[in-house]
Structure 1
Amino acid sequence: MTEYRNISNILCTDILLELFQYFYVDELFNAFNDTIHYFPLLLKNGNVQLHVRHVDSHFRKHIMPNIERNNVISVRIQNMYQMAPVNLGEFNQVHFLVLHNVTELNWPDNFPKDLKYLTIYVRSKDRHKIFKKALILDNIKRLEFNSTFLHFHDCNETLVKPSTIKHLVFNSQRCFINYEFLLNNMPDLQSLKSSNTYYPHRTKTNLGIFNRLYTIDLDCKHIDIDVMILFIIDVSRYSLRQCRLINVNNSLSSYIADVLIS
């Protein structure tokens, strides 16, 4: 902290404004609010892009009233159960949002209207409901969905509106992908990535075709790579450009498929 205060005494305003962009907003207020005269005004006048990592009572009472909400471009909430009553919809310029420990009970009522990148860490028991809630958010381009166990039911279900998500990432200790559900609800899907994907080739045939799916990257368990390649080419034959499949149970090169399709 002492180092920050010494720096503020010797560096010009332009350099400080540049440095401010590399710290979280709570770090900035802890380091500079008592040492730089009219520090909140400096942030506002300099249009400093702000990153928030704690949406707690301290942020709501002491930081939020002193910042320009439209200058906040990213928010990370480490525990949704500890989040203060803050309307995320007020941060209209937030493009990147990370939510940890998400359940159906603490799912936010409002989201930034310009949100593009959403990362969620979900309790397994709420995975299906939260996944559907995330899919119907407006304007989301990339969704990273994290949970200990990912296995979605109601594969024939069609959501109230098609998802805008183009890039989908599943991170789990045990993941089962339901391609039928993705086909029904994600018409603009361009890339699919998953870890610990179990039996990815066991699915129905004649599901339909992904028209915009360019990239598939799957770390798999219990996979017949030849069968899986045939399946993937079948469901994305008009769009697929790159396919990467790895059988994590075997390190031999024969169990790694890296397919480039021109």
Structure 2
Amino acid sequence: MYSTTYHRPSSIDEAAALFSKGTEAKYLAGGHTLLPVMKQRLAAPSDVIDLGRIKDLVGIEASADTLTIKAATPYYDIMTSADVNKTIPAIAHLTSMLGDPAVRHRGTIGGSIANNDPAADFPAALLALAATVKTNKREIAADDFFKGLFSTALEDGEIITAVSFPIPAKAGYAKMRHPASRFALTGVFVAKAKSGDVRVAATGASQSGVMRVAPIETALRANWSPGALDSVKISDAGLMSDIHGSSDYRANLVKVMAQRAVADAG
């Protein structure tokens, strides 16, 4: 790796101030994105600002209508949280499928969504649950947050502080895992709001990153059951095609994973 200066701020304001002073500063959350690209010499930040020790960025809060997970909360804490398992167990299930124990003890929800990696799991949960991303500057609806492949609405230096999820009536997540990386070859999160509206989001499939799946949403609004999707056809237009799976294969996975997610949701 290239030479860099490592910082461990104790507050959000201190982190933002350090970022503004750096010529090419980067925030570090769990490190599963930034550190590998630094090792490959694809990134050479002047300053690495570690957000993991900022107490205001760690924790989980639940109310009657909302589950809030702070940005630097490790996956393991999310997976084992009584509040998460009570209010939105699908999020705990999603987290349990992330990587391996080492990844789950280090990775964070903020780091997962900050880059809009096309195979990351949490973006699907945010989009399907109509979550709100909170930063040190503003609040951003999930529909407006994800802008395309490795692109989000975050401004330079902006820090994700928390994610708030409206508590749904039902929700489920299912994915086909890559056998080596355990990233989502295709994953689908389904959510039925207390109002009756249905939102469905897929990750690992689209060339543009996480996406809503309108045909499945329409079918599930009429009939919330796996069988309601039997006749649904998913277009492969705009879907990824690589050595792991063709666009046709991924289109079929979107449907199959949605059916499994609905079955898990009940």
Report the TM-score, using the length of structure 2 for normalisation. Answer: 0.25
Q: Which has the higher contact order (CA 8 A, sep 6+)?
A: 2
> Looking at CA atoms only, which structure, 1 or 2, has the larger radius of gyration?
1
